[in-house]
Structure 1
Amino acid sequence: MNFFRHRHAALLGLPVIAVLTAIAGCSSADDNTSVAVPNPGRKATELCRNLDEALPRTLDGHSREDPEPRSALTAGWGSPATAIILRCGVERPPKMTDPKVASGNDPKAVGGGVNGVDWLMEKQDDGSTRLTTALRKAYVEVTVPRGDDVSGVLVGLAAGVKKAIPTGIAY
């Protein structure tokens, strides 16, 4: 008789496990943005770790909410659906060597500087803007969602980038 009691309890446990699994699947962990973590060399990784420590707690009115998986090479600000995302140690974007960009003849990409940091600015098909540092020892990429103030983001990041990522040719 004990066999039936344990078997009955085990069978009742299955629906409970299914419900708990479904609830866990809808937990706040799903509220985090998932971002591909770059895999730069040792020197760039060290610079990116320095940048992580120099980044602001708030950026353009958004508080820092780092994406998953947690890494010193990534950072985020704002709600997951509309987060400003930073990735440090990315590869050089192809547009950075495109002659059309250098001559100002590419309507989707332009170069410029803000507070001593040079950036390549690329409009994305979804309306967001991807910004990548230029002439720094590590490439830093920032994605700004459509509707956010790109200039405010660049001003907010300039001091940290200047402090942590020296000028020069990327590793």
Structure 2
Amino acid sequence: MTSSRRLWHPVFLGTSVAALLLAATGCSSTDAAVSITVPTPSPEAAAYCRALHKELPKSVAGLDRGDAEPRSELTAEWGDGEIVLRCGVPRPAKMDDPMAKGTEANGVNWLLEQSEGAGPRFTTTYRKAYVEVTLSAAYAHDASPLAAFAPAVSKAVPGL
């Protein structure tokens, strides 16, 4: 499993230096809401997304659900953006690629897209609205987030 490591740690720098560094950054990462681009789906897809929003779990892979900005029933995040969900995204062009990779988690099929230096992005297939889940690099080899979303997706977003 890939994980990111900090180059410094406040405990080793001493309290005054750590406080100065935190003050210089303005706030800690847990003080600010995660910014997520809100999709603009069709009215039909938006209705499925609103239903999905009500079904989403409060925690995923041990991470608590947080507050994303702007607030929307089309987006959600867990663990300060470690896991981000957007519902009603456009159909990815990669779905036309016969060599595209995918996976299945608890009855929900997902297209896998991997970009250099970032965690994986998964988008549901064979559903009336496309649901996108982006994972940080720390979760690149962990299927539990997709499995956690499967019951909500199955219940709220009908298959084709």
Tell me if both proteins adopt one fold, taking TM over 0.5 as the criterion: yes
The 5-angstrom pairing of residues 55-94 of structure 1 reads 55-80=56-81, 83-94=82-93
> Secondary structure at the residue paired with 1:90?
coil
Structure number with greater CO (CA < 8 Å, separation at least 6) is 2
> Secondary structure at the residue paired with 2:137?
coil
Give how far 1:30 is off: 6.3
Give how far 1:36 is off: 0.7
The aligned counterpart of 1:124 is 115
Give how far 1:33 is off: 1.3
1:157 matches 2:156: no
Give how far 1:27 is off: 5.6
CA distance in 2, matches of 1:57, 1:160: 12
Q: Which one-letter code corresponds to 1:89 in the other structure?
A: G
Bigger mean CA offset, 59-68 vs 142-151: 142-151
> Any idea what the Cα deviations from partners look like across 1:114-156, whole Å, max 9, x if unmatched?
1100000111212300000000000000000001153010111
* TM-score, with length taken from structure 1: 0.74
> Any idea what the Cα deviations from partners look like across 1:17-75, whole Å, max 9, x if unmatched?
xxxxxx9x936796211111000011100000000000000001000013100000000
> Any idea what the Cα deviations from partners look like across 1:60-113, whole Å, max 9, x if unmatched?
100001310000000000024xx2100000001111111222xxxxxxxx1121
CA distance in 1, matches of 2:123, 2:142: 12
- Give the aligned CA root-mean-square deviation in angstroms: 1.8
Q: Which one-letter code corresponds to 1:63 in the other structure?
A: D
Stretches of structure 2 that go unaligned for 5 or more consecutive residues are 1-22
Contact 1:66 1:74 in 2 (8 A): no
Q: Which one-letter code corresponds to 1:31 in the other structure?
A: A
The 5-angstrom pairing of residues 1-171 of structure 1 reads 26=26, 31-80=32-81, 83-101=82-100, 110-148=101-139, 149-168=141-160
CA distance in 2, matches of 1:55, 1:95: 26
> Secondary structure at the residue paired with 2:57?
coil
Percent identical among aligned pairs is 44
* TM-score, with length taken from structure 2: 0.78
Stretches of structure 1 that go unaligned for 5 or more consecutive residues are 1-22, 102-109
The aligned counterpart of 1:18 is none
Greater fraction of residues in helix? 1
